[in-house]
Structure 1
Amino acid sequence: MYSEKVLEHFRNPRNVGVIEDADGVGTVGNPVCGDLMTMYIKVEDDRIVDIKFQTFGCGAAIATSSMATELAKGKTLEEALQITKQTVAEALGGLPPQKMHCSNLAADALKRAIADYLKKNGRVEDLKRLGLDNLPDEDEHDDHGELCPM
């Protein structure tokens, strides 16, 4: 069963859309279950001032994308990098175990968007310091063969 908060974020997702002139873009997907997420960020003074997402996936994937954007908006890049799959799931009042990989995708998309921003701005040292210099390629996934039952 889904919590009321998951259902609310699924029915009324926040921050849906595209930022055309995004400072950073992160895309992740799970080829086994078919979920695909892209996050777009605008950054000023190392703070996420705007964030949007597009998600193709189940209700949990949409809800976790929405919650991750809510958690990240207004945070510094370093604060936003502290958002984990557990943080997202807890903020939603929990997720069924078979849906935890959905919240993993949301946290990963955010990390990729931040890494993209740092790369575009030539901040290689920050990438290394923050542990974002060795993210797997977009087509490398750690999906553990998890299917995403609707």
Structure 2
Amino acid sequence: MQYSAKVLEHFRNPRNMGQIEDPDGVGEVGNPICGDVMKLYVKIDDEKIADVKFETFGCAAAIATSSMVTEMVMGKPIDEALKISARAVAQALDGLPPIKMHCSNLAADALKAAIKDYRSKKSAAAASK
């Protein structure tokens, strides 16, 4: 299986890896077939992604796609971040082997789950006022 130089770079030197203390949203997704698990944390300021970090337990493609997603969304309005597709993540990494395309789905899904978590917390807080 051949990975692009970008995939290998993001695997060897992942960006924004770790946790955010007191995150505004957390998204956790996994693939029961391959065992990959991704957890993505977001900090939102003025409806923009002010900080984003991830923890991923999985293969090189899983780590690289998580890293790339964080770079793609940092500083972006959350509505724009929600438009990032699995295909866009794979393209930003100069492609993924077909058998690893599911990793880009996981990364995009983790991002969407984190934003959904943020919005549900925000709605709950507004409702309790």
Q: Same fold (TM over 0.5)?
A: yes
2:20 is aligned with 1:19:
yes
Give 3-state SS (helix, strand or coil) of 1:122's partner. helix
The aligned counterpart of 1:34 is: 35
**What is the rounded CA distance, in whole Å, between the counterparts of 2:77 and 2:49 in structure 1?**
6
The aligned counterpart of 1:79 is: 80
The aligned counterpart of 1:98 is: 99
2:11 is aligned with 1:10:
yes
Percent of paired sites with the same residue: 67
Structure 1-normalised TM-score?
A: 0.81
Supply the AA of the counterpart residue of 2:110. A
1:39-58 to structure 2, matched below 5 A, reads: 39-58=40-59
Deviations 1:74-133 (A, max 9, x none): 10001100111001000000000000000100000000000000000007xxxxxxxxxx
Structure 2-normalised TM-score?
A: 0.94
Deviations 1:15-34 (A, max 9, x none): 00000210000000001100
**What is the rounded CA distance, in whole Å, between the counterparts of 1:119 and 1:32 in structure 2?**
29
**What is the rounded CA distance, in whole Å, between the counterparts of 2:73 and 2:39 in structure 1?**
14
Give 3-state SS (helix, strand or coil) of 1:121's partner. helix
Gaps of 5+ in 1: 124-150
Superposition RMSD in Å = 0.7
The aligned counterpart of 1:115 is: 116
Superposition misfits of 4+ residues, deviation over 4 angstroms:
none
**What is the rounded CA distance, in whole Å, between the counterparts of 2:55 and 2:96 in structure 1?**
20
Give 3-state SS (helix, strand or coil) of 2:50's partner. strand
Gaps of 5+ in 2: 125-129
**What is the rounded CA distance, in whole Å, between the counterparts of 1:6 and 1:97 in structure 2?**
14
How many residue pairs match? The answer is 123
**What is the rounded CA distance, in whole Å, between the counterparts of 1:109 and 1:32 in structure 2?**
17
Give 3-state SS (helix, strand or coil) of 2:123's partner. coil
